[in-house]
Amino acid sequence: MTSTPRRTSGALRDYHMEEGAFLFNFEEKSWTDPMRGHTENKEMCAPLFLELKSESLTKNRQAWRTMERKGFKVTKDVGCMLPHPQYGKSKTQKGNGMNGGGHKTSMGFFTGFIGNRQDAPEKDKDGRPINLQVSHLCHRSSCINPIHLIAEPQWQNQKRNTCGKNNSGCNCGNTIECLRMYQTSNKPENPVLCTTKKEVLESLKELKELHPFKVLKRNAYNEKDSKAAKKRKIKAENQKKRKRQADKQAHAAGKKAAKKAVDDQAAKKSYENAVMKHLSPEHV
Ligand SMILES: [Zn+2]
Ligand SMILES: [Zn+2]
């Protein structure tokens, strides 16, 4: 049985880098306050955080590193960091949906915030929905730049969806201002990207002060990639070897069984039976 080989993370990274992505490595440091967006409902909002040393924290960290290793494109306008499209929330140019979730992984990695506690009230006394949501101040739903993300009550997030018509600046009334005019994420856009490390560092100056990172060399993961490729090759060869051995045994068993049979037809049948028996269920 042959199957299309799975695209390796190295291949995904190469593709993304050809599209203009840079490789980053962010330092892990103590979490900052992700709640700067909830001031108007401070008492009622009930954020849920990853617990220190928990399995879910480890998983979230791994998810971040996996995404990080595929690189980020950096936009020149406000310094959005765009992960490989598989982590984005918006649709591709061809209209395909994405796995998404990159911004949530980022929120977990940089702030520990993962959602609302079970006992969180849904509405405030005025009936406004106060479930905490991760808002994009840049209105680019695939952006994972942690300083473009805040956790704020739903009603505040919703207000952003009308912000800054005609590029008149943030006028949605939120205390923490949007970085760009609101745009729908259904519309594909082609933002101008940083093309040099210098431009990247310039665009992400503010972020670097809050969350230190390194921009890695383009070949930073080559060694890791070739090791992984070698491992995959050995695994495939071993599988083949095992399959050949199993086939050989099956035929030998079939022949033996056939010898015992009285006439040709019975021999053929018992041969087939023996082969089937030997191959199933693992090999059919
Ligand atoms: Zn952004
Ligand atoms: Zn706004």
* pLDDT digit string, tens, across residues 152-202: 999 999 999 989 888 889 999 999 999 998 887 667 788 999 999 999 999
Task: State the pairing for strand pair 149-153/113-116.
Answer: unpaired
* pLDDT digit string, tens, across residues 240-251: 999 999 989 988
Rounded distance between C-alpha atoms, residue 194 and residue 81, angstroms: 10
**Residue 60 burial (CB < 10 Å; 0-12/13-18/19+)?**
buried
Residue 150 has pLDDT above 50, yes or no: yes
What pLDDT, on the 0 to 100 scale, is given for residue 2? 46
Contact in structure between 132 and 49 (CB atoms under 8 Å): no
What's 103-131 look like in SS3? HHHHHHHHHCEEEECCCCCCECCCCCECC
Give the residue from 109, 159, 165, 110 showing the smallest Cα distance to 133: 159
Angle between helices 9-18 and 222-260 (to 10 degrees): 140
What pLDDT, on the 0 to 100 scale, is given for residue 99? 56
Q: State the distance from the centre of ligand 2 to the C-alpha of 107, rounded, in angstroms.
A: 20
**Residue 228 burial (CB < 10 Å; 0-12/13-18/19+)?**
middle
Q: Nearest ligand to the C-alpha of residue 138?
A: 1
Q: Nearest ligand to the C-alpha of residue 82?
A: 1
- In the chain, where are the structural domains located? 9-220, 229-279
What pLDDT, on the 0 to 100 scale, is given for residue 279? 73
Q: State the distance from the centre of ligand 2 to the C-alpha of 96, rounded, in angstroms.
A: 29
Q: What's the mean pLDDT in 50-76?
A: 94
What pLDDT, on the 0 to 100 scale, is given for residue 22? 97
Q: State the distance from the centre of ligand 1 to the C-alpha of 221, rounded, in angstroms.
A: 26
* pLDDT digit string, tens, across residues 100-146: 689 999 999 999 999 999 998 999 999 999 999 999 999 998 899 99
Confidence band for 97, pLDDT divided at 50, 70 and 90: very low
Give the residue from 208, 198, 67, 195 showing the smallest Cα distance to 142: 67
**CA distances (Å), origin 264, targets 102, 267, 268, 278:** 64, 5, 6, 21
Q: State the distance from the centre of ligand 2 to the C-alpha of 239, rounded, in angstroms.
A: 57
Residue 259 has pLDDT above 90, yes or no: no
What pLDDT, on the 0 to 100 scale, is given for residue 174? 92
Q: State the distance from the centre of ligand 1 to the C-alpha of 121, rounded, in angstroms.
A: 29
* pLDDT digit string, tens, across residues 196-246: 999 999 999 999 998 999 999 999 988 888 888 899 899 999 999 999 999
Q: Nearest ligand to the C-alpha of residue 169?
A: 2
Q: State the distance from the centre of ligand 1 to the C-alpha of 278, rounded, in angstroms.
A: 58
Q: State the distance from the centre of ligand 2 to the C-alpha of 133, rounded, in angstroms.
A: 16
Residue 5 has pLDDT above 80, yes or no: no
Q: State the distance from the centre of ligand 1 to the C-alpha of 21, rounded, in angstroms.
A: 15
